[in-house]
Amino acid sequence: MRYEPPLAEARLLRRYKRFLADVVLPDGRELTLHCPNTGSMRGCMPEGGRVWYSTSTNPERKYPHTWEQVETAAGHRIGVHTGRANALVAEALEAGLIPEFRGYARLRREVKVGRSRVDFVLEGGARGESCHLEVKSVTLGVERGLGLFPDAVSERARRHLEDLTERARSGLSAALCYCVQHTGIERVAPADDIDPGYADALRSAMGAGVTVVAWQADLNAGEITLVRPLPVLARAE
């Protein structure tokens, strides 16, 4: 996925009111960005750190600039725009990049199923089957290349896992893809210390036969693309 035009650079001053962030431009001017991330953004807000933002041409937007990426103290890039995760996975699915999801004839997005919406429904498999696929964005990197999800308690994410688990136990295809928007992460695990309920739900899902994969993105000011699979652990190691 290319950024058109390429992202502009600034330095982070602060994030506040959840959806806003102030930055300072290279010429010293301050600018307020929209922050498209509802999580805690733990590890994504180094004071004075380099950030990159996009600019919308929509005249109706109160804050036309959107925070897209940040650089950690160790020099890793993080994509903080969680809304990009579904677009990245859709791009990978359409390109046949992810082996577990090849062979489906159709791709439907944001499908209402039961009590919630499924990010993707893959239809027309080899035996006519369909697969429900949920996508989660991973941005929390801790020690030794470990990535954790979620970065805050998320009942919604747990509910999605429970729906996938119920489907898998019924003998139907269900899957979860972690979109890792952090170049320093080498493996993904549930964040037991942050949301033990979600962690237990993930292990139940894996035991029930839900397909769980993780794919890492490469990021720069010009584009962001899923490029490599990462291992998913049932527990952090």
CATH 3.40.1350.60 placement within the chain: 84-230
CATH 2.40.50.580 placement within the chain: 8-74
Measured CA to CA, the distance from residue 16 to residue 11 in angstroms comes to: 15
Structure tokens, 17: 């009111």
* Residue 51, pLDDT score: 98
Give the CATH fold of the 8-74 domain: OB fold (Dihydrolipoamide Acetyltransferase, E2P) (2.40.50)
Measured CA to CA, the distance from residue 208 to residue 210 in angstroms comes to: 6
pLDDT, mean of residues 32-58? 94
Q: In what order do the strands lie in the sheet containing 173-180? A: 106-113, 116-123, 131-138, 173-180, 211-219, 224-230
Give the CATH fold of the 84-230 domain: Trna Endonuclease; Chain: A, domain 1 (3.40.1350)
Measured CA to CA, the distance from residue 139 to residue 70 in angstroms comes to: 11
| 6 pLDDT tier (thresholds 50, 70, 90) | very high
Ranking 31-40, 124-133, 141-150, 206-215 by mean pLDDT, the lowest is: 124-133
| 226 pLDDT tier (thresholds 50, 70, 90) | very high
* Residue 112, pLDDT score: 85
* Residue 213, pLDDT score: 98
Phi, psi of 207 (to 5 degrees): -70, -30
Measured CA to CA, the distance from residue 172 to residue 166 in angstroms comes to: 9
Q: Are 36 and 67 in contact (CB under 8 A)?
A: yes
Please report the DSSP string for 162-179 in residue order: HHHHHHHHTT-EEEEEEE
